[in-house]
Chain A
Amino acid sequence: MTIIIYRTIMLYIIIIIAFKMMGKRQVGELQPSELVITIMVSNIAALPIENMNIPLLSGIFPILILVSFEIIFSFICLKKPKFRKMITGSPAILILDGKIQQQNLLNLRFTLEDLIEELRLKDVFDISEVDSCIIETNGKISVYKKQEKDVVTKEDLQIEPSTKKPSFPIIVDGEINKINLGYCNLTEKWLNNIIEEKQIDIKNIFLLTADAQGQYKIVKREI
């Protein structure tokens, strides 16, 4: 058991370093440490299932150790910015003032094709539209377009914005969501009035959405 603890910790640290070395491209949507946990946990969990000679605890303990480490690491990251920078790295600028930062691309082993592809995924098809582009610690990019190429807002056009709020699901599959009802500042009395008005059994409501203005939509159960 003791050996398992040491081995888990050693591998955890080694894989984090490996992912850090591989750079942001490999990370995807997760932070390096989260990715390490995801990969290791799934592999460790499979071991006692595949091999009946290994005690189940040899699978459970490393998973608990990894999860505990992740929680402790994320707490330390929260309190110590230097540690956070060491574990998760820091965002890097790929385009600044419309100029591609070639050295940063090289450091991150990010090809121009990768950059163009990522920009396309952000609905930017012409690189000259970009003012700044930053690659975040989780490997995703953030794009700030040049002012003349940016989307026109209602404020730009001096149009009075509507006060419409988003609607929330209030009844899903015949079940009332009281939390969402609270978000919309609506009461159960209001809901009961609607149900009475529509003469429909609550169990026959597949979906009922409503917004803060009390506007609602009902989808009846068909099957």
Chain B
Amino acid sequence: MKTLYTAISILIFILLFSIFSFNYISKSKEEITNILNSIENNITKKENIENTKINIKYLEEQWQKKENLLSILTKHEILDNIRTNISTLMPLIENQENGILLSEIKKIKTYLIMMIDEEKISFKNLL
């Protein structure tokens, strides 16, 4: 009976953890996307370059904070790609390569969508 309760507890724990995991990934995706949107706005509205740099710095910090936990929850490949792309943003803004910078932001957003898509309960993921 003790083993049975342990087994049920493990299943409940895993189920709760999966809910937490999905929420964390989706919250992280939202937060990072918001920062990316503000960087995108800065560039399109041709705002002060220093503000954009501050936003990129903030993005790097936020990603560093989230990446550790995310690496436990989702595939490392996507996270590595996002990290690589984020690391290119600062040199691009310093060199005023706004066009490439916007396309890099687009790439990061796509990876973020892929990250959350892999966790969604869908026909594609289940089969």
Contacts and interface: CB of A to CB of B under 8 A. Distances in A.
B125 A3 contact: yes
Interface string A1-44: 11111110010000000000000000000000000000000000
Nearest to A61: B14
A68 interface: yes
Contact of B18 (A1, A10, A71, A75): A1
B31 interface: no
Given A5-B18, A10-B126, A55-B74, A72 B7 contact: yes
B17 A65 contact: no
Interface in A50-71: 52-57, 61, 64-65, 67-69, 71
Given A7-B126, A61-B14, A55 B75 contact: yes
B98 to A, nearest CB: 33
Contact of A55 (B3, B14, B19, B76): B76
A2 B21 contact: yes
B119 A1 contact: yes
A48 B121 CA distance: 22
Contact of A72 (B8, B76, B126): B8
Interface residues of A, number: 23
Interface centre among A1, A61, A67 (most CB of B within 10 A): A1
B75 A53 contact: yes
A1 B11 contact: no
A71 B126 contact: no
Contact of A2 (B10, B11, B121): B121
Given A1-B18, A52-B76, A75 B118 contact: no
Contacts of B75: 53-55
Given A1-B17, A61-B14, A53 B8 contact: no
A57 B7 contact: no
A4 B18 CA distance: 9
Interface in B1-44: 3-4, 6-8, 10-11, 14-15, 17-19, 21-22
Interface of B: 3-4, 6-8, 10-11, 14-15, 17-19, 21-22, 71-77, 118-121, 125-126
